[in-house]
Structures are given as C-alpha cells and as structure tokens.
Structure 1
Amino acid sequence: MTTHNTETAAAWDALPAVVRTYLTAHRSADVAAAIGTFTADAAVTDEGHTVHGREAIGTWLGSAGSEYTFTTEFTGATATDTAHVDVLQRLEGDFPGGVADLHYRFTLDGDLISRLVIEP
C-alpha cells in the first residue's frame, strides 16, 4: 500500500489560528502569548538546539535573536495535513548575512503546537 503526502499552499488567513497567534506573538516579542500556544511538553528546535517544555521555551523566546534587530515577513506556507504546517519567513536585519529565509515547521496537537523546528 502506498501513501502520498499532499502539500497544499496556504495563505496567512488559511493558517491554523494557533500558528498565526504564535507568529504574531513571536514577532511582537509577546512571550506570554507565544508560550500559550504550546502544549505543556512541547519541543522547539532552533539553530540545532532543542528545548522542551513551556518554561524552557519561554526562556528561549526571551533570548532568541535578542542580540540583533530584524524584521520578519511571511512569504508563504504549505500544509501536508491538518497537523503539519511549514511556514516560510524572510528575516532581514543586522545579523550575519543580513537576510535569511527560514522554515518554521509546526506539528500541531489539536489547537496547540507540540513541536516547532526552525531551520533554513
């Protein structure tokens, strides 16, 4: 039996509400709102390091990228199913290289995020 993953393009308004809430909170540095989008045992991987649980995610959110000034722009998204969404964001700022396109790969558990992997 063969299964096929089908990717569907998604506009900002078509993203799951929890993903939009997280991205908006992250962009505005609203750590409390961002933490509220995760399950209690969620994991986040960024720059090759993984943190587990809301407390560790809160610490990561409070410090991630804090040494740089940058803007973030939603450039597109795809969904392979209702639990997996890949959002592409363009960051521009005073970090090395000045521009980066990053994938925010979300795994959802109901109305919350259980896993987030941020990578090029």
Structure 2
Amino acid sequence: MHDSQPRTITPDALPEVIIRYLTAHHAHDTATALKAFTDDATAIDDGTTYQGIAAIERWLDRSATEFTYTIHLTGAQQTDATRYTATHHLEGNFPGGTIDLHYRFTLRDGLIERLVIEP
C-alpha cells in the first residue's frame, strides 16, 4: 500500500523551486514567480482556477495589489516525491484580518505543475 500520509519537514527542506516561488511571490516579483511554473500549470486560489501561464500571471499581478498583509511561513510537509504543503500565517487588511493558508504544491520536472491555496 502506498503511504500518502504527509510528514512534517523543516521549511528550508522544501524544494528549491517552491522556495524560489514563495520568495518571489512575497516580493511581488511576478516574472520570477512565473518561471517556477510549468507551461500548463494550474493555480487554484479562493475557489477560482487559473489554468496556464497567462492566467496565473494575471492572478499573481492582481493578488499582489488586492490587499496589504504580512505573511510568515509557519510549517511544511512532504506527502511524496512531488507533493508538498507550505503553511503560512497572514495578517492584513483582508476580510477577517488573519488566516492560516496551506499552499499545496504538485511538482513535475522540477517545476510547479499545480498550486492549491486553501485554509
């Protein structure tokens, strides 16, 4: 039986491409963040699906300016060789003011194929 239970890892043990994406996203560096994705990548945030690089670029540009917030990486998990979760704590001027979000990454060929952001 395949063991798909996530195991806790240190945040600095996340794959380089995930750390590069998170760093660029937090710095509102859309061009660098986009380079972490496959051409056919999917991102899902707040229940909306963004398919492909052009849609992901529009989402990143919009999300960078929609609210002002601080974000802290508080934990990380690895499910298997291609699936990782980075947990972030956000505080800002969005509805509710604070939230913990799970960034669920699926990797392919060293790039992000799928990103799902959810509480």
Report the TM range for the smaller structure's normalisation.
Answer: over 0.9
The amino acid of 1:34's aligned partner reads A
The amino acid of 1:37's aligned partner reads A
Task: Please name the residue that 1:73 is paired with.
Answer: 72
Task: Please name the residue that 2:25 is paired with.
Answer: 26
Task: Please name the residue that 2:3 is paired with.
Answer: 4
The amino acid of 1:83's aligned partner reads T
Task: Please name the residue that 1:92 is paired with.
Answer: 91
Deviation, structure 1 residue 41: 0.2
The amino acid of 1:61's aligned partner reads L
Alignment pair present for 1:63 and 2:62: yes
2:42·2:114 contact (CA, 8 Å) conserved in 1? yes
- Structure 2 CA distance, aligned partners of 1:52 and 1:111? 19
- Structure 1 CA distance, aligned partners of 2:9 and 2:3? 19
Runs of 4+ in 1 over 2 A off after TM superposition: none
Deviation, structure 1 residue 12: 2.0
TM-score by length of 1: 0.95
Deviation, structure 1 residue 66: 1.9
CA-atom RMSD, angstroms?
Answer: 1.0
The amino acid of 1:58's aligned partner reads E
2:11·2:86 contact (CA, 8 Å) conserved in 1? no
2:44·2:50 contact (CA, 8 Å) conserved in 1? yes
Q: What is the CA deviation profile of residues 69-95 of structure 1, one whole-angstrom value per residue up to 9, with x for unaligned ones?
A: 101100001001110001100010011
Point out where structure 2 has 5 or more consecutive residues left out of the alignment: none
Q: 1:65 to 1:96 in 2, by over 3 A?
A: farther
Identity level (%): 47
- Structure 2 CA distance, aligned partners of 1:73 and 1:89? 5
- Structure 1 CA distance, aligned partners of 2:92 and 2:79? 30
Point out where structure 1 has 5 or more consecutive residues left out of the alignment: none
Deviation, structure 1 residue 8: 1.9
Alignment pair present for 1:50 and 2:49: yes
- Structure 2 CA distance, aligned partners of 1:51 and 1:67? 17
Aligned length: 119
